[in-house]
Amino acid sequence: MVLVLCIGDLHIPHRAVDLPQKFKQLLVPGKIHYILSPGNLCSQEVLEYFKSVCSNTHITKGDFDDDSSFADNEVLELGDFRIGVCHGHQVVPCGDTDALALLQRRLNVDILVSGHTHEFMAMQHEDRILINPGSATGAFSSLNPSAHPSFVLMDINGSKASVYLYNLIEEEVRVEKMEFTKAASKLI
C-alpha cells in the first residue's frame, strides 16, 4: 500500500498567498510516501514545504517554474502501475484528453498526472487513467477563473488505485473517492 500525494499549480507567490490552512492540517508529515507534482510551485518555500511533508518528491517543470532541476516529465513505477508526471503546458490543445492520451502513450504510463488547467480531474480514458489534481491554492487562471483549491491522494495497492479528490469549497473540505484498476495489457 503506497500513499501518493498529487499536488500542483500552487503559483506562490505569483498568484496565491499560501496553501489553505485546512489542507496543511490534512497533509501531516510522515503519512505520505510519494509526492508527485506536475509543477508550478513557483518558489523555493513551496518545495521546502513539500519536502517537509515527504522527502520523496517527483516534480516536473511548469511554465512558471524557474527551478532548472525540474525535468520536463518523470516516470516511476508504483505497485503494478507505471505513473507519469508532466505539467501539461506542452500539450496542445491544452487539457484535451486525446492529446493527453497521446503523451501517455509516448511515456508508456498507466496513470498520467498533469496540471496546468487548474481544474481537477480523474478519469479512465481508453485503458488508462488521467489525473489532474487542479491547483492546490485555487490560483487564478484565465483557463479556469473559478478554480477552487484541490489536490489528489492516491492509494496504490497492487493493481488497484483508490483516488481521493480533495476540494475546498466555501471553506469546507469535500472528499470524493474513485476506484481504478489497471487494465490487463492487451496484446494485438
Partner 1 sequence: MVEAMGLEEQARLLQEAGNAVKRNAFFMKKAMDEDNLREALRYSATLLGELRTPTLTPQRYYELYMQAFNELTHLQAFFREERRKGRSYADLYELVQHAGNVLPRLYLLCTVGSCYIRSKEAPAKSVLKDLVEMCKGVQHPIRGLFLRSYLCQVSRGLLPDVGSEFEGDGGSISDAIEFLLINFAEMNKLWCRMQHHASGRDRDRREQERQQLADLVGRNLTYVSQLDGLDFALYQEGVLARVMDQIVSCKDAIAQQYLMQCVIQGFPDDFHLGTLDSLLGILPDLQSGVQVHVVVSSLLDRLARFAASDKAVVDTFNQVDAFGKLTRAAAKVTESENEVPSGDVVAMHAALLSFTGAVYPDRLDLVNKVLTSAYQALEKQAPIKDAKAEKLLVQLLSTPLDNYDVVTVLELANYPSVMSLLRPAKRKEMAVKICQTILRQRTLVSSMEKVEMLLDFISPLVRDTEGLEDDDEFFEEEQNLLARLVHQLVSQDTDEHFELLRAARDRFNAGGPKRLRHTLAPLAFAALRLVRTIKEGTADSKKADGACKTVLQWIHGVAAQLAEVPAAEIALQLYLQAAHAASEVACLELIAYEFFEQAFILYEEAIPDSKAEVTALQSIVGVLHRCRVFTAESRDTLVHKATGYSAKLLKKPDQCRAVCACSHLFWQELPAEEEGDDVAEGVQPPVRDADNVMVCLKRALKIANSAQQQLAVVLKGDHTTPVMLFVEILNHYLFYFEQGNPSITTSVLQSLLELVANEMANENCQKDEALLAFYNSTRNHIAIQKDKGDELAQKFSSLQL
Residue 155 CB partners (closer than 8 Å, separation 6+): 1, 2, 3, 4, 161, 162, 163, 164
* Residue from 2, 101, 173, 178 binding partner 1 (CB under 8 A): 101
Cβ contact 45:12 at 8 Å: yes
> What separation in angstroms does the CA of 15 have from each of 31, 59, 139, 170?
28, 19, 6, 19
Supply the minimum distance, in Å, between the C-beta of residue 31 and partner 1: 24
Nearest to partner 1 of 1, 94 (CB atom)? 94
Cβ contact 19:10 at 8 Å: yes
Name which of 114, 133, 135, 119 is nearest 14 in CA terms.
Answer: 135
| C-alpha cell belonging to residue 33 | 510516501
On the 0-12 / 13-18 / 19+ scale of CB atoms within 10 A, 3 is middle
Task: Please report, as residue ranges, which positions from 103 to 122 form the binding site for partner 1 (by CB under 8 A).
Answer: 104-106, 108
Nearest to partner 1 of 115, 153 (CB atom)? 115
* Residue from 96, 123, 175, 177 binding partner 1 (CB under 8 A): 96
Question: How many residues contact partner 1, by CB under 8 A?
Answer: 39
Nearest to partner 1 of 90, 162 (CB atom)? 90
Nearest to partner 1 of 1, 143 (CB atom)? 143
Task: Please report, as residue ranges, which positions from 41 to 80 form the binding site for partner 1 (by CB under 8 A).
Answer: 43-45, 61, 63-64, 66, 68
For residue 127, which amino acid is it? D
- 14 near partner 1, judged by CB under 8 A: yes
State the residues that interact with partner 1 by CB under 8 A.
11-18, 43-45, 61, 63-64, 66, 68, 89-94, 96, 98-99, 101-102, 104-106, 108, 126-127, 140, 142-143, 145, 186, 188
